[in-house]
Amino acid sequence: MKIKPNFVVFLLFFGVALITAIQDRNWLLTAFWFAIGFVFFWSDLRKDT
């Protein structure tokens, strides 16, 4: 299985969201970063269909 570029971007944004959640406990900003990462992940899934 080949890792697609948008999945890597998703992992980066997920990491930023996780670090933000642990350090600042700012859940709104965490949700924002996670949502942006999910858009990249979703676009990877959508390309296959």
Task: Write the DSSP symbol of residue 33.
Answer: H
> What's the whole-model pTM score?
0.68
Q: Which backbone phi and psi does 21 adopt, to 5 degrees?
A: -65, -40
pLDDT tens-place values along the chain, 49 residues long: 677 788 888 888 888 888 988 898 888 988 888 888 888 888 878 866 5
